[in-house]
Structure 1
């Protein structure tokens, strides 16, 4: 094996060279984001006048075929193919725009030195031989033939060409010259000396021992510094950072730190690139970011190790830690930062932490999904900051108000909902940490003689006891009555029937009387507050279970209290949802969407649907072409209402809002997008005014078809349309002159008209009346014909027909 420093253009240039991707390699698969990163790096080289940019390694086996030297690529096909596509896009653009002032770009050199070998014996003369399919697409681009659209080769070439079109001549030259500064490590395998290309290929494509995310970020931070500066930054910042959060927690800390700064909780495998993007977007110096990270590292350390320093709220942090809902860490960081900045006192910080604890527990008991908390805990701090800055509101009040304002899956359950679910909550089957936490709090609340419930359970001194046992004998069935089976099913594992005892094995399935009065061991001997009510009962059944549940609930309402709401000035209740959430958006309006960090205003779900698909198709058209989704096609044939994404790419838009969201979910799953890569801001649809024929501002409350019905009816009833025009509107030709999207005559003499072989009825149920005869109006009007229908109505009303 021989490894040499090299330059990508120097390697591929020159005669008698051919680079071959072997058939066992997977197809070329770089996506738009990879190409974006390459262009970003090249622009950075050009703008900052870097001498070089490390572009990775190229591993190959070199073979002499007689007529040329063949390089069989083991690793690096993505890089060499992408550079070739970029060079081809540069060459073609310059040739097609001869008036460009780009003297340093020699198109003949690009073709003959980097893309083809003019002296090669074979017909194509291409230097790069891709695998079948990719090769045909690449060849079509080189030869200027009709492009093969459904490949990453064509998609990435099109992306580069479109980006080049946006560049000035100076920028284009800068990017082109930067390609010549892409340095690589070229590794030549030598099978004759024992190198096994297959083993090396398997090793390169296995999971391997990759650098940890924190290692990559550390290298990114320090690599471009001089030796002395590296030592200084490492000693002053990075080393204390790792020591503060612990080596094993450094990746977790970076994840929550970035979540706090960017308001998105990223998957750990993306942290390295997201850190780079954050640093570049923030315009902050590396030193400023490291200073900030060190401050937040101390917050993180106290959050996950609250026992190390005694404060008025240490015990609350310990309880929150037991709940194992780590995604609340960014929000607690927000609270600590607010305290450090003087926005919130220690007393109110303590209350705010209790609110978080109560919020988590109420949601657990009300069976609300935990995945809804991921984005909420990340984003709410920014909402509080905005409210405080805009209205000078008290930080704690703003914090509580924002939390209480959440609706749907993100809501803070009120007392009514909490009470309703508490009685039926399956406490026994809750995860162990949650079960112990709830029983400990119910036992020790307002109790000065605290019982170490969790430790005693862990030590197996105390165990959970079903007062009404899991297995009922005849005595128990008789006591419970004829509905014993229903009672057991309904209440067995609920708080009203569960308690703690040190004598579980002694109780077994014994009768209630025996459990209560067992000498030295019965409930009457228990000092636990959880057993106080049980001691007063002479029997145990549905009434006693429900009464005890109510007693425990009254205590629970005090333990996990809900803060008073302070009204915040909000014009509209709205919430962000991620694409993978199970949420009903019927009768909801989509106000904005965020797709891969791009925020876009939208009018409604239809507008959002079109815009999301346009972006996703631009990112990865292959996923669309490779799918069999019924709402996507290469033609618009058979679609009732199509939307064109690109040539040979259409989506069906004639779907309800929920189906549109489901379609977005399908393509996002196929593209393996993260939960927060697509988000929608949804709100309630505004109250609709009543439709009034003389008030055009109310026309929007009706669908296009219903509006057409009302406007045509008005014109006919007032006799403002001629018989001749009515007859013309019964023809497709005349209808299309007026309403170009409608494929059927606007009017017909019967509902069954123009059905052909279809079972679909194309005319409205309720007829219009003209000259005493029934006439039916089509249902086949489209939203973008609304203005044409209104104009037709106005012409007749104003006498301009």
Structure 2
């Protein structure tokens, strides 16, 4: 390796040809970067003492069998700066041809910095870019000094010609000399690598360039291709990698990175973080499993096809594509690694289409039931990262098919990974505010309710809006129709599913009376919306009718998002083996008593509706009621002597959350009607806020009272703390 400081224009004027390797990303500087460079050049031109440091240029000398005085240089880092300065010199040359200046020769600029003047053919060009970039740059430099008007089109590099036009527009008689002077004051640090002794890849990774940040896929592409000889680089890039990148080109920025992240998750069983270069580092580790990079690139190529087929609805089979479209409307990207593995097996004839579609349906059901029940989605990326592996383990051990394995796994999930049962799903479906939710979730919900069973002739709900049947602003006529308890009805039912429907005439319906909403043009009786069929012939709209419609919609919801059912004997066997792995020892009398108490309490919990959901029943002295938060949960418990029962808000590792709540101590205790014990536990990560009560658990006659206290206090804890935790996290 050789390194030093060099004047940039002197460096550019040497008998060299700079080439950008095929694996490097295309030219990507925007007007923003060009504007800053232009500003820096003008600024340094006005100071006779200072120079401007442009950054580093790292290159590798290439050895050629062709005898030529021109040295071929492969740029490892610095492409964006070299290309931009070349574009600026071309724009300056164009200006000088059209606006001659004393002591400034456009011909000298061309022969010194744009062409190797004595060479012919491809060696003639100072800078050789990739693909479209090269064609567009050559079009510019070949026509300098001619009267030909350049026409750029969609086949040209947008960045190259737009930046060229930017510089042309900003060069004028007042600044042309300063630009020329400033260009001569640009310095670089050059780092010349020896291919035999230096590792270009390690040096490339260690650079902290002043250019645009490299994406994880940029780093991965360079890692795969950089150490190969030119022929292999060209073969792998043009046969596989370029095809992949072209397929992602019209997608949102960083979609390719998202694919690589999902692909890696399927391979390593964990989700690479978005911090730093974690995706890249995990890829390098995974790549060591391959004997050659061609096999690795072929695998990435195949998985990219799977990804695009399901994630962007490019699947050719209509039934499967419709299933993908339905799942994608939910917007849960965390499922992608799992779906990609399923698609791989489908592609290899290990999974048939019908079963694949059923797996997608139950994936929707799992996600939707959790959403309706307000269970946070933070943990889903880890859940789906392991889902396929868990399925395969069950397949092998119990000889189950894909679908029954998946259903069994969903039924075994507990705590914050749980799939809500019908009872919990029903309670939340009936009572939840389903109007003030994210638009994509609301659209998905009403799309499914409207079109289930009519998929061949679906209603396009995007042309409709959500209508409150009982309006958001009540008139006196509406209050009279709702009855004496109109305030309670309005408060409890306004935004619930039973009071919501679809209409194309939202502004016309507004807060008109129920009868007017039925009879008017575009009203419920005219409506072709299936959700309005039940409403057409009703005589009134009040709490009873809202409740009835809610019940009808829930019956439909259970069909759309079913709870999984499997052979009870197999499920019991798997549960027993699952529990035995955790509880290998024979439980003591006290442990049996604890479990029996929690089982009895669990039955009572199922009878009501709560803002938490039960954890797994065990022999422990505590029973977790998940708070639908990863930061904390409610825990019921009692002391080992069984003389005290307690309830606590257990905070995992956030002293900030504890302090936030402690600052509201007086108000919280006032709302609860009890004094709390506030244990910050400065020597530990966790904290606790709890209350204890003397009780005697050994006497089962007391259990009804103890269970009632536990459940009542759990509801109070949930009501008091949930909003505050949400406020803190927001």
**Secondary structure, aligned partner of 2:467:** strand
Map of 1:239 onto structure 2: 242
Match among 240, 249, 256 for residue 262 of structure 2: 256
Map of 1:582 onto structure 2: 631
Map of 2:273 onto structure 1: 267
**Secondary structure, aligned partner of 2:525:** helix
* Separation of aligned partners in 2, 1:380 and 1:263: 9
Map of 2:505 onto structure 1: 503
Shift of 1:452: 2.7
Shift of 1:500: 1.4
* Separation of aligned partners in 2, 1:427 and 1:506: 22
Let me know the Cα RMSD of the aligned residues.
4.0
Superposed, 1:74-223 pairs within 5 Å as: 208-223=211-226
Map of 2:529 onto structure 1: 528
Cα gap change, 1:406 to 1:499, in 2 (>3 Å): same
Q: More deviation in 442-451 or 503-512? A: 442-451
* Separation of aligned partners in 2, 1:356 and 1:385: 16
- Is the Cα contact below 8 Å between 1:428 and 1:435 reproduced in 2? yes
Shift of 1:396: 1.9
Shift of 1:274: 1.5
Superposed, 1:52-91 pairs within 5 Å as: none
**Secondary structure, aligned partner of 1:493:** coil
Q: Deviations over 1:383-436 (max 9, x none)?
A: 112222333322221122112211122111111111111111222112112212
Work out whether 1:546 is the aligned partner of 2:547. yes
Map of 2:316 onto structure 1: 309
Map of 1:340 onto structure 2: 347
Match among 297, 300, 304 for residue 297 of structure 1: 304
Match among 437, 452, 465 for residue 445 of structure 1: 452
* Separation of aligned partners in 1, 2:635 and 2:683: 10
Shift of 1:531: 1.2
Match among 225, 233, 237 for residue 230 of structure 1: 233
**Secondary structure, aligned partner of 2:318:** coil
Map of 1:131 onto structure 2: none
Map of 2:711 onto structure 1: none
Cα gap change, 1:451 to 1:394, in 2 (>3 Å): closer
* Separation of aligned partners in 2, 1:284 and 1:491: 63
Q: Deviations over 1:423-457 (max 9, x none)?
A: 1122211211221221122112234783433332x
Work out whether 1:376 is the aligned partner of 2:383. yes
**Secondary structure, aligned partner of 2:317:** coil
Work out whether 1:569 is the aligned partner of 2:570. no
Shift of 1:284: 5.0
Q: More deviation in 323-332 or 478-487? A: 478-487
Q: More deviation in 564-573 or 305-314? A: 564-573
Match among 678, 686, 711 for residue 662 of structure 1: 686
* Separation of aligned partners in 2, 1:350 and 1:415: 22
- Is the Cα contact below 8 Å between 1:366 and 1:417 reproduced in 2? yes
**Secondary structure, aligned partner of 1:370:** coil
Q: Deviations over 1:225-256 (max 9, x none)?
A: 12222222222332233234447432111010
**Secondary structure, aligned partner of 1:427:** coil
* Separation of aligned partners in 2, 1:195 and 1:314: 55
* Separation of aligned partners in 1, 2:437 and 2:306: 30
* Separation of aligned partners in 2, 1:361 and 1:244: 31
Cα gap change, 1:585 to 1:431, in 2 (>3 Å): closer
- Is the Cα contact below 8 Å between 1:255 and 1:265 reproduced in 2? yes
**Secondary structure, aligned partner of 2:375:** coil
In structure 1, runs of 5+ residues without a counterpart are 7-72, 77-190, 198-203, 457-461, 589-611, 614-626, 631-654, 665-689, 691-801
- Is the Cα contact below 8 Å between 2:498 and 2:546 reproduced in 1? yes
Cα gap change, 1:449 to 1:301, in 2 (>3 Å): closer
Taking structure 2 as the reference length, the TM-score comes to 0.51
- Is the Cα contact below 8 Å between 2:311 and 2:328 reproduced in 1? yes
**Secondary structure, aligned partner of 1:500:** strand
Taking structure 1 as the reference length, the TM-score comes to 0.46
Cα gap change, 1:236 to 1:206, in 2 (>3 Å): closer
Q: Deviations over 1:710-736 (max 9, x none)?
A: xxxxxxxxxxxxxxxxxxxxxxxxxxx
* Separation of aligned partners in 1, 2:351 and 2:456: 33
Cα gap change, 1:454 to 1:307, in 2 (>3 Å): farther
Superposed, 1:390-429 pairs within 5 Å as: 390-429=397-436
Map of 2:561 onto structure 1: 560
* Separation of aligned partners in 1, 2:518 and 2:633: 49
Shift of 1:354: 0.8
Cα gap change, 1:423 to 1:658, in 2 (>3 Å): farther
- Is the Cα contact below 8 Å between 1:586 and 1:658 reproduced in 2? no
- Is the Cα contact below 8 Å between 1:464 and 1:501 reproduced in 2? yes
Map of 2:466 onto structure 1: 464
Cα gap change, 1:400 to 1:656, in 2 (>3 Å): farther
Shift of 1:272: 1.2
**Secondary structure, aligned partner of 2:433:** coil
* Separation of aligned partners in 1, 2:578 and 2:631: 22
Cα gap change, 1:657 to 1:225, in 2 (>3 Å): farther
Shift of 1:498: 0.7
Q: Deviations over 1:651-708 (max 9, x none)?
A: xxxx9999955389xxxxxxxxxxxxxxxxxxxxxxxxx9xxxxxxxxxxxxxxxxxx
- Is the Cα contact below 8 Å between 2:680 and 2:687 reproduced in 1? no
Cα gap change, 1:569 to 1:231, in 2 (>3 Å): same
- The alignment covers a number of residue pairs equal to 409
* Separation of aligned partners in 1, 2:406 and 2:445: 25
Map of 1:276 onto structure 2: 284
Map of 1:652 onto structure 2: none
* Separation of aligned partners in 2, 1:196 and 1:218: 29
Map of 1:487 onto structure 2: 489
Cα gap change, 1:298 to 1:206, in 2 (>3 Å): closer
Superposed, 1:740-751 pairs within 5 Å as: none
Shift of 1:271: 1.1
**Secondary structure, aligned partner of 1:524:** coil
* Separation of aligned partners in 1, 2:273 and 2:308: 21
* Separation of aligned partners in 2, 1:251 and 1:402: 30
* Separation of aligned partners in 1, 2:446 and 2:247: 34
* Separation of aligned partners in 2, 1:315 and 1:446: 13
In structure 2, runs of 5+ residues without a counterpart are 7-52, 57-181, 189-206, 583-614, 617-625, 638-651, 660-678, 689-697, 699-730
Shift of 1:215: 1.2
* Separation of aligned partners in 2, 1:264 and 1:492: 43
* Separation of aligned partners in 1, 2:291 and 2:578: 35
Shift of 1:526: 2.0
